[in-house]
Structure 1
Amino acid sequence: MKIVVVAESFLPHMNGVTNSILQLLGHLRRHGHDAVILAPATSWAGPAWATEQAPATVEGFEVHALPALPLTGYSNVRVAAGTVTRVRRLLERISPDVVHVASPFVLGWRAIQAANQLGVPTVSVYQTEIPAYAQRYGAPWLEQLLWNHVRTMHQASTVNLAPSTYSMNQLHGVGVPRLQLWRRGVDTQRFTPARRSGELRAQLAPHGERLIGFVGRLAAEKQVEDLEVLADLPGTRLVIVGSGPLKEELQQRLPGAHFAGFLSGDALGEMVASLDVFVHPGESETFCQTIQEAMACAVPVIAVGRGGPLDLVDNSRTGWLYAPGRLEDLRGHVTDLVYDDAKRQAFATAAWQSVQGRTWPALCDELLGHYRAAMAMARARA
């Protein structure tokens, strides 16, 4: 197959959307498929003027970067320019069998329209609950308008993929048709208990503190400030991994925490495996890949009971879930595990066992099946 992958965000900006695309591209190369990536450039003037450039190729596949502007207040996120006509011309030149639209919103919506004009099937992957961000960014009146846009985009797509049962139900409730469940894989070679580092733990916890970790963007939608409720737990230390616009504010609010900055690759695997418990307070996660990565490292998870974590965390076995806003329960569940070594170890073992078999190759094979289904649907309509 020849696939065009349309990404609302891509390298050098690393997030869950980028990670899943990179896993997909590696799988396509290994299995003899062809691909072209359409993504925002890191500069409006084009790659030649960017201080940090996206690669020209990934896994041997061309990256076609469209001029883009930074999102206000979050410069790492780029909004690509260009009309539907421009995207259609690109698709005509490439002549793909299917268009994979990753977390569509602006560029993805143009690609869906362009593909429809050409009769090319689209597989749209819902990955970001953007309407929920409206409240967090002080614009609650936008939420319904954003849901209307989500519905319009996905109604125009051939096949729609949701990452969790919560997202499936949510999209079904707003009128999105042709829905299928497509979860995410986890790299159990990079995220493994074997990477637990005594040397790193000695640096972060010189007095034997239990390490409570978070990994993610330091942005409003992640609600990292909720971790203040854990800051005074005796014999513990918070470890915050990630970067984003709220870093300085969070450093002021959590002065005792260790801010590790952005980590990736084996360094991230080592950090996650060296934690004692993992926490995730964000309420707008459609999946939450970092939870799977923690569990693959045999680290039990405490997360808010909404969205993707509902599928990932088996309450009272692999971790704990708490109701949105119930920060006293977050504190109570963390306390339950950090001060009880036997219980924490039992949860850790169950967490590790629960993610074995969730490999990226298996999930990418499943995705290829969705591509073929979309192509068959398009042929039936022709």
Structure 2
Amino acid sequence: MRVAIVTESFLPTVNGVTNSVCKVLDHLAREGHDAIVICPSAHAPSSYRGFPVFEVPAARYRSFPVGLPNLLVQRLIAEFDPDVVHAASPFFLGAQAIAAANRLGIPSVAIFQTDMAGYAKRNHLGPATKLTWRFVKWVHEGASLTLVPSSASMDDLQNMGVPRLKRWARGVDLEAFHPNNRSRPGALALRERLRPNGDEVVVGYVGRLAPEKQVERLAALRGVPGIHLAVVGDGPSEASIARATDGMPLTFLGRLGGESLSEAYAAFDIFLHTGTEETFGQTLQEAHAGGLPVVAPRAGGPIDLVADGVDGYLYDPEDPSELHQLIEDLVESETLRLRFGEAGRRAVLGRTWTNVCGELVKHYESVIGVPRLAVPTQRRVRLS
């Protein structure tokens, strides 16, 4: 199979979209498929897993490259002549790719991953919120199939009237995130650093430090006895978070990856998620894989990932006192933490990237050769 992946984000930018695209490319390479990557210009590698990477012009917004419409997108797709176009978290660049695929008579699969409309609403952009939803609807209406990561996202898109929706989750590395990692020297050293008195319960957060992540909610834990907070990540909200948690026992660990990230999870006792705009919640899966109890808002993707009272807790994001009490309950009971952690590990055992990407390939196959009723089929064209 030949797959053209058009993504709004790629290396060296590291985020959920990039990570998912890389896992898909890893799987396609292992299974002997052919692929290309089209992404915004940001000094990306010229190839990944042997697949060529093509950059198109981009502008910078909040330090992220944003792909701009360019005739190169259709030319690259036409020359590669793929069986399917994969549009990762499509916005400006992905919208152009889907339109180009329709003109060329190539099916497309759009991956809904970023809640752009939620961002507009949170930032009080007024009419821009409705316009953003209209644009999102227009983009996904053009795709042969849209894959959504959670029931909340499914509800949002169905309510907008977006057709041809199916669920597709994300995988998790069950070896990189494993309870046994707690015995690694690096994890033990970090745990000792985070427990200056030797008996603190470490409550950890992993993710970008940006307004939409609402990490300032950690302030709700002020006064919980016997805890130490650990924050993994970087971003523009770090100063705001520091102000909100001033005087609290908190360590900023910066952005981590690879073995260092695995060891950070292994140094935690409880994983706390704060944002309400997650379409999925990959870090929650990683925490579950590491055998940690998870506490997350009752909103968006976490609703599907956390079994309330079984492998963690869901809290009302508008009620800081509830978050405070739930964390306090877990701090006071090691038995409860262990029970939730074991249940979380069991819950993700079937969610390997191999399984999840295998499902994705089946979704590709489901749209290949299926005639589009809404968009006139056009003959494929090779451009030199």
Q: Which residue of 1 aligns with 2:155?
A: 169
User: Is 1:69 matched with 2:59?
Assistant: yes
Task: Name the SS of the counterpart of 1:128 in structure 2.
Answer: coil
After superposing the two structures, state which structure 1 stretch, 244-253 or 89-98, moved more: 244-253
Is the Cα–Cα contact under 8 Å of residues 302 and 321 in structure 1 kept in the other structure? Answer: yes
CA distance in 2, matches of 1:322, 1:247: 23
Question: In the TM superposition, what is the alpha-carbon distance from 1:320 to its structure 2 partner?
Answer: 0.4
Aligned to 1:326: 319
CA distance in 2, matches of 1:182, 1:65: 27
- 1:221 and 2:212 aligned: yes
Which of 277, 283, 292 does residue 276 from structure 2 map onto? 283
What are the superposed Cα offsets for residues 271-314 of structure 1, whole Å, 9 maximum, x if unpaired?
01211111111111110000000000000111001111111100
Aligned counterpart in structure 1 of residue 85 of structure 2, from 99, 116, 122: 99
Given the alignment of the two structures, is residue 233 of structure 1 paired with residue 220 of structure 2, yes or no? Answer: no
Q: Are the equivalent residues in 1 in contact too, given 2:56–2:73 (CA < 8 A)?
A: no
Amino acid at match of 2:229: L
What is aligned with 1:46? none
| Equivalent position of 1:248 in the other structure | 239
**Equivalent AA in structure 1 for residue 55 of structure 2:** A
Runs of 4+ in 1 over 3 A off after TM superposition: 378-382
- In the alignment, which residue of structure 1 is the partner of 2:305? 312
- SS at the partner of 2:161? coil
SS state at 2:325 partner: helix
Alignment of 1:125-140 (within 5 A): 125-140=111-126
- Share of identical aligned residues, percent? 43
Compute the displacement of 1:128 (Å).
0.9
Shift of 1:24: 0.5
Matched letter for residue 119 of structure 1? G
Pairing 1:187–2:173 present: yes
Give the Å deviation of 1:138: 3.5
Q: Is the 8 A contact 1:243 1:262 kept in 2?
A: yes
Alignment check: 8 A CA contact 2:86 2:109 kept: yes
Return the match for 1:366 from 349, 359, 363.
Answer: 359
CA distance in 1, matches of 2:10, 2:223: 38
Distance between the aligned counterparts of 1:177 and 1:369, measured in 2? 19
**2:188 pairs with one of 187, 192, 198:** 198
Change (3 A) 1:379 1:140: closer
Indicate conservation of the 8 Å contact 1:205/1:237, yes or no.
yes
Q: Take 1:360 and 1:190, find their aligned partners in 2: how far apart are those partners? A: 12
Tell me which amino acid in the other structure corresponds to 1:17. V
Partner of residue 55 from structure 1, selected from 24, 38, 45? 45
Do the aligned partners of 2:284 and 2:294 also contact (CA within 8 Å) in 1?
yes
1:251–1:259: 8 Å Cα contact kept in structure 2?
no
1:355 matched residue in structure 2: 348
> How many angstroms does 1:379 deviate by?
8.0
Q: What are the equivalent positions in structure 2 for 1:11-90 lying under 5 Å apart?
A: 11-42=11-42, 53-71=43-61, 74-75=62-63, 77-83=64-70, 85-90=71-76
Q: How far did 1:166 drift?
A: 1.5
Amino acid at match of 2:79: R
CA contact (8 A) 1:120 1:378 kept: no
**Alignment coverage as a number of residue pairs:** 368
Structure 2 length-normalised TM: 0.93
Deviation at 1:124, TM superposition (A): 0.1
Structure 2 gap ranges (5+):
378-384
CA pair 379-106 structure 1, distance change in 2 beyond 3 A: closer
Return the structure number with greater relative CO, CA threshold 8 A, min gap 6. 2
TM-score, normalised to structure 1, is: 0.93
Is the contact made by 2:270 and 2:292 (CA closer than 8 Å) also made in structure 1?
Answer: yes
Flag structure 1 segments of 5+ consecutive residues without an equivalent: 43-52
